[in-house]
Amino acid sequence: MRVPFSPPRMDKKMADAVLDTLYSGWITTGPKTKKLEEELTKYTGGKATVCLNSATAGLELALRWLGVKEGDEVILPAYTYCATANVVMHCGATPVLVDVGDDFNIDVSKIEAAITRKTKVIMPVDIAGMPVDYDELRELLAKPAVRELFHPNSEQQIKLGRIMVLADAAHSIGANYKGRNSGTLADISSFSFHAVKNLPTAEGGAVIFNLPEQFDCLAVQKQFKVKSLHGQSKDALEKSKAGGWRYDITEPGYKCNMTDINAALGLVELERYDSDMLVKRKSVFDKYNALLEKHEWANIPVYKTEEKQSCFHIYMLRINNATEDQRDRIIDKISAEKVAVNVHFQPLPLMTAYKEFDFKMEDYPVAWNNYQQEISLPVFYDITDEQIGWVIDALVKAVEEVM
Ligand SMILES: *Cc1c(COP(=O)(O)O)cnc(C)c1O
């Protein structure tokens, strides 16, 4: 038996939706993208949505919209995917890392010490689909000592009047925190619809706006759309109408719009996301939990607390007391049984791209410890009970041989 890590679900409904778009006469950004934006606004309860070609593009547009530039600092967890830090560097700003807690999410109690007069944004990451402690984060930003440190130097920063919370919500569509949905927990949130994520459109993403009342989120939505399409004052659909040829370029914008082919996939998946995809993913988590509970070495991921509900994106198991070398050997043995597992994530201080910042792994001890023990198990829509059993057999055998 072979178990892949997370192939996307694919069925006739999705194929038909793509074909329908291909033959509709409109394949780039158009009516289906607009419809997906409306559906995402409804689904999350956010104020407005812009669909893009990735979550990364959404994060970068948000930083650029806020006017983040050289000399500015952006706080993010040491434990995340590279995209979170890369977009900060694209803007010329400096990523400032904060250690995580036992749950892999940024440790809010450690953020204050990282805030300086240069801090413009905090980018929490809802790892594996489990929301960050957003209320604690808001309380921190409301503290007079923190407010005093904020030095705005762009129109949007002045209007906001405090550090912005920009959620890397790449994992967390469908999660909630104290009854509020991911997408409405930060000022701006960016979802990913990449092929391995919960709601795949091949490539894709969306930013959801939940800015405070001094902002007109529909106007901000328009600004993001213009930014995502060269700075063009009209999109392709508007331009294609008879007499609609003249437009302006209002700024040197970017090119990261979503196509209607991708949006067609998103519409199919979003409609059945809660009733089908999340139900299936929960059942996979529950089956793994039931099979692992009796093993003392298994540190099982928490997917629900009193305040938080995960959307079951990644099954982040830890092997108690494993060293990095033991974990790696366990993975080799599991792989020999044709089971694909992963490590989420290699903390940023370990990566070559960030060496100019001189991050030291020992300054982020929880991230370092979590990483050494972490193995992510396969979770996907079509996984069978037999495959789940095979994964656990391979894992148990490997751990017993190595530890
Ligand atoms: C996947 C991922 C991203 C990037 O998403 P894209 O849609 O591929 O740009 C960003 N952050 C985290 C934590 C991710 O896992």
Averaged over successive runs of 10 residues, the pLDDT of the chain (403 residues) comes to 95 98 96 98 98 98 98 98 98 98 98 98 98 98 97 98 98 98 98 98 98 98 97 89 92 98 98 98 98 98 98 98 98 98 97 97 98 98 98 98 97
CATH of the domain at 222: 3.40.640.10
- The residue whose CB lies within 8 Å of the most ligand 1 atoms, and thus the one to mutate among 74, 88, 168, is 168
Q: Which residues of 190-212 are buried (b: 16+ CB within 10 A; e: fewer)?
A: bbbbbeebbbbbebbbbbbbbbe
Give the span between the Cα atoms of 310 and 290, in whole angstroms: 18
Does residue 83 have its Cβ closer than 6 Å to ligand 1?
yes
Are residues 189 and 77 part of one domain?
A: yes
For the CA of 57, the nearest atom of ligand 1: 9
Are residues 280 and 358 part of one domain?
A: yes
Neighbouring residues of 347: CB distance < 8 A, sequence distance ≥ 6: 78, 79, 361, 364, 367, 368, 371
Are residues 280 and 360 part of one domain?
A: yes
For the CA of 203, the nearest atom of ligand 1: 7
Are residues 186 and 294 part of one domain?
A: no
Are residues 195 and 306 part of one domain?
A: no
Flag whether 363 is in a domain. yes
Flag whether 256 is in a domain. yes
Are residues 80 and 46 part of one domain?
A: yes
For the CA of 204, the nearest atom of ligand 1: 7
Are residues 218 and 105 part of one domain?
A: yes
How far is ligand 1, taken at its centre, from the CA of residue 207, in Å?
13
How far is ligand 1, taken at its centre, from the CA of residue 342, in Å?
15
For the CA of 205, the nearest atom of ligand 1: 7
- The residue whose CB lies within 8 Å of the most ligand 1 atoms, and thus the one to mutate among 194, 196, 258, 316, is 194
Are residues 346 and 280 part of one domain?
A: yes
Are residues 267 and 254 part of one domain?
A: yes
Instruction: Output the pLDDT for position 1.
Output: 87
**What's phi and psi for 137, nearest 5 deg?**
-65, -45
Flag whether 368 is in a domain. yes
Residue nearest to atom 2 of ligand 1 (CA): 170
Flag whether 53 is in a domain. yes
For the CA of 58, the nearest atom of ligand 1: 9
Task: Name the domain count of the chain.
Answer: 2
Does residue 125 have its Cβ closer than 6 Å to ligand 1?
yes
Question: What token pair was written down for 167?
Answer: 């959620």
Give the span between the Cα atoms of 323 and 82, in whole angstroms: 23
Which domain-ending residue is among 241, 271, 301? 271
Does residue 53 have its Cβ closer than 6 Å to ligand 1?
no
Flag whether 2 is in a domain. no
- The residue whose CB lies within 8 Å of the most ligand 1 atoms, and thus the one to mutate among 5, 6, 56, 188, is 56
Does residue 54 have its Cβ closer than 6 Å to ligand 1?
yes
Query: Residue 44's domain spans which residues?
Result: 12-271
How far is ligand 1, taken at its centre, from the CA of residue 381, in Å?
20
Are residues 299 and 207 part of one domain?
A: no
Flag whether 3 is in a domain. no
Which domain-ending residue is among 244, 271, 298? 271
Are residues 298 and 260 part of one domain?
A: no
| Dihedral, 362, 170, 374, 282 alpha carbons, nearest 10 | 150
Flag whether 338 is in a domain. yes
Neighbouring residues of 255: CB distance < 8 A, sequence distance ≥ 6: 228, 229, 230
Instruction: Output the pLDDT for position 148.
Output: 97
CATH of the domain at 350: 3.90.1150.10
What's the start-to-end Cα distance of the chain, in Å?
Answer: 25
Give the span between the Cα atoms of 241 and 211, in whole angstroms: 33
How far is ligand 1, taken at its centre, from the CA of residue 190, in Å?
9
How far is ligand 1, taken at its centre, from the CA of residue 82, in Å?
8
Flag whether 7 is in a domain. no
Instruction: Output the pLDDT for position 236.
Output: 85
Which domain-ending residue is among 245, 271, 297? 271
Instruction: Output the pLDDT for position 255.
Output: 98
Are residues 287 and 265 part of one domain?
A: no
Tell me the whole-structure pTM to 2 decimals.
0.98
Give the span between the Cα atoms of 195 and 203, in whole angstroms: 6
Q: What is the CA radius of gyration of the chain?
A: 22
